[in-house]
Chains A and B, each alone.
Chain A
Amino acid sequence: MAEDIRPDPDALLAAIQRSEAATKRGKFKVFLGMAAGVGKTYAMLRAAQRAQREGIDVVVGYVETHGRKETEALLAGLPIIPRRKVEYRGVTLEEMDLDALLARHPQLAVVDELPHTNVPGSRHAKRFQDVIELLDAGMDVYTTMNVQHAESRVDTVRQITGSTVQETVPDSVLDGAEMELIDLPPEDLLKRLDEGKVYVPERAELAMMNFFREGNLNALREMALRLAADHVGQDVHDYLQAMQITGPWRSGHRLLVAVSASPSSPHMIRWTRRLADNLDCPWLAVYVEQPQPLTEENQERLTKNLALARELGAEVITTADAGVARGILRVARQQNVTQIVVGKPGGDSALDWFRGGRLLRRLVRESGHIELHIVRPEAVEKGERSRRWNLAGESSLWQYAAGLGVVSLCTGVNALLFSKVGPQALALIYLLGVVLLAFAVGRGPTLATATASALMWDYFFLPPRYSFRMTHVEDVMMFCMYFVVALVLGQFASRVRWQERAERRREERSTALYLLTRDLADAADVDDMAQRLVRQVEQAFKAKVAVLLREPSGSLARTAHHASTFAVSEKEQSVAAWAFRFGKAAGRFTDNLPSASAIYMPLQTNRGPAGVLGVALEGDHQPTLEQRDLLDAYARQAALVLDRLRLDAEAQQAHLVEESEKLSKALLNSISHELRTPISAITTAASALVEPTTPEPLRDTLAHEIQESAARLNRLVSNLLDMTRLESGNVKPRLDWCDAADVINVALRHNERELSGHPVALSLNQPLPLAKMDFVLIEQALNNLLLNAAHYTPPGTTVEIKASAAPGEMTISVADHGPGLPPESLPHVFEKFYRVPGAPAGGTGLGLSIVKGLIEAHGGRVEARNRPGGGAEFSIHLPVVGNPEPALDAVV
């Protein structure tokens, strides 16, 4: 390669992530053998003993020794988790205690027999799922497996041994594993078998004897060697790519396998996976939906086939097209596929041959530069047929009845017209009936109606009438032509109808999604969104719905959100928690914890799961592929919205923090200045007092200075405390009947010293009625106003205090003859930390905001204005409600 090849950043990142994940995720080692008896368990336990000697914390989760002495001896010294006893149909069975093992959390867990199927009712259907959970929890795992259990090797094994392996392990599980091949020449294994050293369960003895033939064993040995070699290849591949070494693995291929409901599909899927493995390339599994509806049996098989493809690592795409070839080629072009894998037509009816052949011909003709693989289908087990020519299909009896009706009607009409027009025109009437009918019913009834109407036409209207006989050649021609035209038109119409229906279904799906999106987008908060989600899913699936959200602690809520329509029991919650933890669907109709009563879909966001959506479908029907897809889309959409809501909340929080940071900065600036000034005055004066040289007359002045500064500090602290109290909402006025004149008096007395330089003009609009207020708080508000007046006006100017009462309101105002307020400052003077520009030093900008807070706590309001004659005026308006009952004379 001439061009400068840099390591693909994505590939590099993936390699790094994989190695990172590996450090977090446990290491996975598989002791691989070709058959039972090669000594996998023995080798695994020896490795475990070695690890324990190296100081690693090893615990045995599950080991089956089959009573072999040497193997049992190796268990000595290894801690063993007691097995869980499970009651199943009256039999007590033993399983690995996954939870105990997770709780014990050793560095290395030893778990025998990876392909084992757990007793129904266990958390996972398969042991390899238990192992994945252990690995995800960060434990290393040693396990054993025979090569025939590898999913992609199942077909080969069947070809070699003639028996189908039921317990399989998906290759994707093995992908990250280190493999140690436990090899034994077949003749040695057979010798061990003869000596009775190999455990063979009695019930399967016969099959096993057939299995343990030298030829079989040789083939299996080769498979095991290759599987182990493939895994070495994966490691080397990662390394080479990370190290920027180019090599033949960069094939650039992309495979596509056409999947159908056919029982031979799994074979093709596995074949493609092996090819993709060899070519080291991605692969797609594509299903092209057909006009003909699938029977329930086929639907189920299709779901299984697609699940298999997904499990083996394929990207699964379903598309709808009347022509399979066209659909496949469309997807292939969209996805830049380089090779297509299809089955070789091999059905047992001539029709299958015809149809398959047509598909292949079209693919060959139209595939262009895309290569084709045609794979011979596996011999399908007896009783299973790929597809039935199903005349009835979904067409029910009424459709045939409708056909009959149309034929009778047309015959009736024709009988009336017969005297006026010739038989050829009457054929058109029948044709019209058939075409119209085809829009309403399935293919079967259309075909039947076309046939019946042709016969009717012949019998009633073609001469000789009332006989099926045709005398003229042209009549025979007419009859045949009519038949063909009716069939073609009928077929055509029914296809149009199907397409319309498919279109409508797609539209319904996108409408449902659109509605959900729009509805969720309007959600104001998480609670609202949960309610909307529940409502939408309930409507779309006619199911009960539960939503569990992530708690701030990061774990899943113990109970369902209150909007949920079914209660999630503790057992079900653990299923949801599993889905939450592993980001995979769990529960009913899934592979994980299928004994649950609902499906649990994790709401995955790119910042981890935000919650779980639980859907309890009615009845026992497996959800269709479409429903699954829609549910997936719903979960994704909900997750997106949850993510957005959380981001919004965070942004808002950030904004608040920013605001409060700005405020506290202003506070700090102001406070530090305000605190330091009197403190430095006190320090300076006190240090001068300490000096013996300070002359006596000066000492008095210094002492006064200290007093002044301390008073100022005290005021500042009081202001801050008041502000804090007001802000925290702790100020609750204790309303009592008060005499406003008395309040003013007390405030004046309080500030006697501060106001000493200002004449005070008191004008009380006597007699002031008693009003309900908190004496202390109103006095404090007045204090602040008086202090401001004293502080911000030149000495000698008068401070005027007025009080008046109007019905419903009492007003107290403090006016000065100072410079007044700049007009632009008027709206801001009551804001926290606001200081009028150019105001003399000293003051925090808190005084007036405290006044405002105090008065508003009374339900009153404050005002600031400039007086026409100069100077500022601040007024307090308090609501006055009711009158006190008249005071009684004391009984003396």
Chain B
Amino acid sequence: MSENTPHQPIILIIDDEIQMRRLLRVTLEGNGYRVFEAANGQEGLIEAAQRRPDIVVLDLGLPDMDGQSVLERLREWSEAPVLVLSVRDGEEDKVAALDHGADDYMNKPFSTAELLARLRAARRRAQPVADNVVFHSGHLQVDLSSRLVTVKGKEVKLTPTEYSLLRLLVRSAGKVVTHRQILKEVWGPNYGEQTHYLRVYMAHLREKLEEDPSRPELLLTEPGVGYRLKSEV
């Protein structure tokens, strides 16, 4: 958390639609955020530099520059989590935004509850996490320090690959991790395109961790983009 906002988290909304900004402001201020607005990319970058927001909500379709390049410019000096909020629902846009450092991606139209949950998750991820933290979600419990994975209290044996896949998802719990990010992290930089590895191992993981592997509740697929481990907020 930034030192100049002791009580309220600061949020910056970069969106050219005034109606959208108005709606977000009402919702977010009602939920304890201090809201700043920018109507285009340039303004957004200036505001981000001045206000040092804890989190940024970014629209991709801006009048002066593309949202993706706003994201790149922002990432040059800021670590603040960025939630992309866009009407573009093509998976290429999502993947590009996530690969360029966006923390999360939501399509318009969206529900307020979902947005607030995602914002909370993003802020929590932004806090430094100790490796010995034990992760809980539903019946699943993962102790990263002792490499112990249990479902309903029973220990589950995972292969090393399955474990490193799970560990990556736990570290980014609640956030979409793209195929490429997973493949590079788990299998190495040369395996970025081998999606079928992922499909196979994800099926294995679900088999071992999900209550009903055919209706997964924890390891969620983001179509065309990647996977997300459901986190309890």
A residues near B, CB below 8 A? 707, 710, 714, 718, 734, 736-739, 741-743, 745-746, 748-749, 762, 764, 770, 774-776, 779, 884-885, 887-892
Contact = CB atoms under 8 A, between A and B. Distances in A.
A764 B160 CA distance: 29
B69 interface: no
B53 to A, nearest CB: 29
A715 to B, nearest CB: 11
15 contacts: A736-B195, A739-B199, A741-B203, A748-B215, A774-B224, A885-B196, A887-B194, A887-B196, A887-B201, A888-B197, A889-B161, A890-B161, A891-B187, A892-B161, A892-B163
Nearest to A721: B89
Interface of B: 89, 91, 109, 111, 159-161, 163-165, 186-188, 194-197, 199-203, 214-216, 220-221, 223-224
B197 A746 contact: no
B223 A775 contact: yes
A770 B187 contact: no
A231 B137 CA distance: 108
6 closest A-B pairs by CB: A737-B196, A892-B160, A884-B196, A890-B161, A776-B224, A887-B197
Contacts of A746: 221, 223
B214 A745 contact: yes
A274 B104 CA distance: 97
Given A739-B203, A776-B224, A890 B164 contact: yes
Given A770-B199, A779-B223, A887-B197, 20 more contacts: A718-B89, A734-B224, A737-B199, A738-B199, A739-B202, A742-B202, A745-B214, A746-B223, A748-B215, A764-B214, A770-B196, A775-B221, A884-B196, A887-B194, A887-B200, A888-B187, A888-B197, A890-B165, A891-B187, A892-B163
Of B91, B159, B221, B223, chain A has the most CB atoms within 10 Å of the CB of B223
B223 A890 contact: no
A888 B198 CA distance: 10
Contacts of B161: 889-890, 892
B210 to A, nearest CB: 10
Contacts of A743: 223
Nearest to A744: B214
A737 B195 contact: yes
A889 B160 contact: yes
B91 A776 contact: yes
Nearest to B111: A707
B10 to A, nearest CB: 29
A745 B215 contact: yes
B214 A741 contact: yes
B134 to A, nearest CB: 21
A577 B159 CA distance: 82
Contacts of B220: 749
Contacts of A775: 221, 223-224
Contacts of B160: 889-890, 892
Taking chain A's interface residues, is the majority helix, strand, or loop, or is none over half, making it mixed?
Answer: mixed
Nearest to B108: A714
Contacts of B89: 718
A812 to B, nearest CB: 14
Contacts of A776: 91, 223-224
Contacts of A749: 220
Nearest to B213: A741
Contacts of B111: 707
B224 A762 contact: no
Nearest to A885: B196
A737 to B, nearest CB: 3
A709 to B, nearest CB: 12
Of B89, B159, B161, chain A has the most CB atoms within 10 Å of the CB of B161
Contact of A770 (B109, B188, B200, B224): B200
Contact of B221 (A714, A742, A891): A742
A776 B111 CA distance: 21
Nearest to A886: B200
A274 to B, nearest CB: 81
Given A710-B109, A737-B196, A770-B199, A890 B186 contact: yes
B221 A745 contact: yes
Of A707, A737, A885, chain B has the most CB atoms within 10 Å of the CB of A737
Contacts of B215: 745, 748, 762
A889 B91 contact: no
A718 B89 CA distance: 10
B162 to A, nearest CB: 9
Contacts of A885: 196
Contacts of B201: 887
Contacts of B188: 890-891
B224 A890 contact: no
A678 B188 CA distance: 50
B214 to A, nearest CB: 6
A714 B87 CA distance: 11
B190 to A, nearest CB: 11
Contacts of A738: 199
Contacts of A764: 214
B187 A890 contact: yes
Contacts of B221: 742, 745-746, 775
Contacts of B223: 743, 746, 775-776, 779
A745 B111 CA distance: 22
Nearest to A718: B89
A890 B190 CA distance: 12
A707 B111 CA distance: 9
Nearest to A763: B214
A890 to B, nearest CB: 4
B213 to A, nearest CB: 9
Nearest to A739: B199
A782 B201 CA distance: 24
A764 B214 CA distance: 9
Of B196, B197, B201, B216, chain A has the most CB atoms within 10 Å of the CB of B196
A734 B90 CA distance: 12
B156 to A, nearest CB: 17
A889 B196 CA distance: 12
A15 B139 CA distance: 100
B225 to A, nearest CB: 9
A741 B202 CA distance: 12
A714 B109 contact: yes
A885 B195 CA distance: 11
B27 to A, nearest CB: 14
A748 B91 CA distance: 19
Nearest to A764: B214
Given A736-B195, A748-B215, A764-B214, A889 B224 contact: no
B159 A889 contact: yes
Nearest to A767: B203
B109 to A, nearest CB: 6
A742 B220 CA distance: 9
A710 B203 CA distance: 35
A742 to B, nearest CB: 5
A891 to B, nearest CB: 7
Contacts of B203: 739, 741-742
A793 to B, nearest CB: 21
Nearest to A714: B109
B94 to A, nearest CB: 10
Contacts of B165: 890
A707 B159 CA distance: 45
Of B159, B188, B200, B201, chain A has the most CB atoms within 10 Å of the CB of B200
Of A742, A743, A746, chain B has the most CB atoms within 10 Å of the CB of A742
Nearest to B198: A887
B199 A742 contact: yes
Contacts of B164: 890, 892
A737 B196 CA distance: 5
A741 B160 CA distance: 25
A714 B186 CA distance: 38
A750 to B, nearest CB: 9
Of A739, A748, A885, chain B has the most CB atoms within 10 Å of the CB of A739
Contacts of B109: 710, 714
Nearest to A760: B215
A885 to B, nearest CB: 8
